Amino acid sequence: MRGPDPGDLTQFLGEHTPFQSASADELAELAAASATVDFAAGAVVADYSARVPGDVWMVRTGRVTLQAADGSAVDVVEPGGIFGYTPLLTGGGMEFVARASEPSTLIRLPGELVRTQFATPAGLAFLASSAWSTDAGGRPALVPVADTRPVGELVHGEVLLVPPEVSVREAVVRMTEHHVSYALISLPDGEFGIFTDRDLRTRVVAAGLSVEVPITRVMSAPARRVTADLTAETVLMAMLESGLRHMPVTSARGVVIGVLEDADLLAASARQSFTLRRSIGSAATAEELQSAAQRVTHTASALFRSGTKAAATSGILSIVVDSVVRRALELALAEAAVDVPVPTSGFAWLTLGSIARREAMPSSDVDSALSWREDLSASADQLRAVARRTHAILDGCGLPVDGNGAVAFSPNFSRSQGDWARAAHRWLDDPLAGKGLILSSLLLDGRVVWGRDELHTVPAAYHQMRAEHPNALRLQLLDALSGRVRARSLRDVLSRRGGTFDLKSHAVTPIVNLARWGGLVGDVASASTPARLEAAAACGALSEKDASTLGEVFVMVQRLRMTHQVEQLCAGHSPGDVITMSELSPLNRSLLNDGLREIGAVQRRVGNFGIPAV
């Protein structure tokens, strides 16, 4: 422990919430009563499961992880962040351990002085936006990830724009003056760059650069942007997928109206997802990755139990699984390179199925495919060996391979980009030959999670399918209708409370297949099920009412699936889709019965009218 420099500490405290509105005298008193403490990596800062410390901690440098009793990460606190205030205010019950994730310097703040700051408007606003809450048992409770408000309603404050000729020093001074952690740089081509406090640490300080270097040297450009009409939930997904912590928001005319930070959108449960992705990305060995990945289904379960909608939980679960797959592939490539040269670029790894559609469930297995440049065809066996090792690592992560053989080390699912394109045209010319209908459906759902998007050549062949390949489109429809719901038999199953029912096979798959067909009619090849239903309505393949009905049934069934699988996980069982009807409440049995009847009715109407004219 060492005494802080009062002047330096006063400035630091005044730059961070909840002390930004404190007077100079209040900041001076708080700084004088505080202490600066250094912690080694892994050291326990405070144990809130044993007692309620009377102090609050602020991270000066480094990072602190807050761990629940089971060892899972509840939150990560970075420089300027504080913790320990919730137990102080509630009188305890928040059982977690604060541990330094890396060598860190923390400020120990006297609890009583901090408590007075929470009575101020700024302090109350901080508490209102805090992600922590407690459940009935006084334990840390996770709250919903986001809401469906447009992000334009969430941005606030003046946008910090700086010209490209400013130095890092000038930009940081302006960031401090505006109390923001970013600066947008207006570029001559109309685009924007972005520079954040993290860039200052990693691209300037850690790289040994002078703060006098031009901001353009260390910024990210072009900055990814979102429009103000997107929902908070959608933007959260984009930020989670890309690993971004700042997102500029623009009007419909492209004018930047604000910059969202992850704290504007995140609850504690969503922070778990970001924390988990960081630990996955930093795993140095297969064993480390497998250890981190054991928390994937736990995180999804926590998200859903905290009130996050099933669709959002599925989306976040899909993104986290993608990050596991990418890291497993990188580790497999590194292992292979020890023995023989192996290509590290020029190929793409595709995720298929529900994970690719962002509709994963805890029970989802990992379907995959490989596509490579023509000049890498001689390395096909090596790439397939890497794919086999990747899946072996994933199996140890609790992410098993597809049981039907849709795996990247199979010759059917690993080809050159040209071979994939030629195969796609063969499937269009004769969909019944060589399982073309099945393979095309799998690859149309595919999404590149490692490598370049243009290596996934199958979807391009399916553009203009209604005009150029109407017979193949009709076969897609026949396939979508082949699993027609038989109302009488399903009604019998649903009425017998002891019977069982497969939610995926008999409820989800018919909707997914109809949506895929409808999307192809509307020239939308790869997309989520809801997006395909919207495209089907827009092109007339489905009426707006039928598309809306199927969308509502899909949401309802996905909620039932997630509820069932999370309950199985909590009971220590492997998750699956077969439910016992007695598990469902009378309301849910009625909703499922009505939903199945609606699916059958849409199938009959589509079967009667077929494909709309071009």
Concatenating the DSSP letter of every residue in 187-222 gives -TTS-EEEEEHHHIIIIIITTT--TTSBHHHH-BSS
CA distance 356 to 441: 12
CA distance 217 to 209: 10
- The vertex-565 CA angle with 564 and 571, nearest 5°, equals 95
pLDDT of 532 reads 94
Q: pTM of the predicted model, to two decimals?
A: 0.67
CA distance 99 to 120: 29
Q: Which amino acid is at 570?
A: C
> Omega into 140 within 30° of 0, i.e. cis?
no
pLDDT of 212 reads 92
Token pair listed for 563? 């509820």
Is 580 in a helix, a strand, or coil?
strand
> Omega into 530 within 30° of 0, i.e. cis?
no
Contact 236, 187 (CB under 8 A): no
CA distances from 200 to 176, 213, 217, 257, 418 (A): 13, 11, 12, 24, 44
Contact 447, 349 (CB under 8 A): no
Smallest CA-to-CA distance from 388 within 364, 372, 405, 363 is with 405
CA distance 179 to 22: 14
CA distances from 31 to 51, 78, 83, 113 (A): 25, 19, 17, 10
Contact 570, 472 (CB under 8 A): no
Topology adopted by domain 474-609: Four Helix Bundle (Hemerythrin (Met), subunit A) (1.20.120)
pLDDT of 301 reads 86
- Stretches where the chain sits below pLDDT 70 are 1-7, 50-53, 69-75, 86-95, 118-149, 233, 262-274, 306-307, 483-498, 609-614
CATH superfamily of 268-461: Beta Polymerase, domain 2 (3.30.460.10)
CA distance 561 to 575: 10
Smallest CA-to-CA distance from 284 within 224, 212, 339, 334 is with 334
CA distance 539 to 614: 9
**Domain 151-261 class in CATH:** alpha beta
CA distance 341 to 126: 54
Pairing outcome for strands 73-77 and 133-134: unpaired
Note the pLDDT tens digit of each residue in 75-92: 678 888 888 876 666 554
CA distance 560 to 566: 10
Q: 4: how many CB neighbours lie within 10 A of its CB?
A: 21
Sheet strands side by side (includes 226-227): 226-227, 246-250, 256-261
CA distance 272 to 306: 12
Domain ranges of the chain: 6-137, 151-261, 268-461, 474-609
Q: What's the half-sphere exposure (Cβ side, CA atoms, 13 Å) at 258?
A: 14
CA distances from 125 to 27, 122, 150, 447 (A): 19, 5, 21, 41
Is 586 in a helix, a strand, or coil?
helix
Q: Pick 6-137's CATH classification: 3.40.350.10, 1.20.58.100, 2.60.120.10, 2.160.10.10.
A: 2.60.120.10
Is 567 in a helix, a strand, or coil?
helix
CA distance 59 to 106: 5
Mean pLDDT of the chain: 83
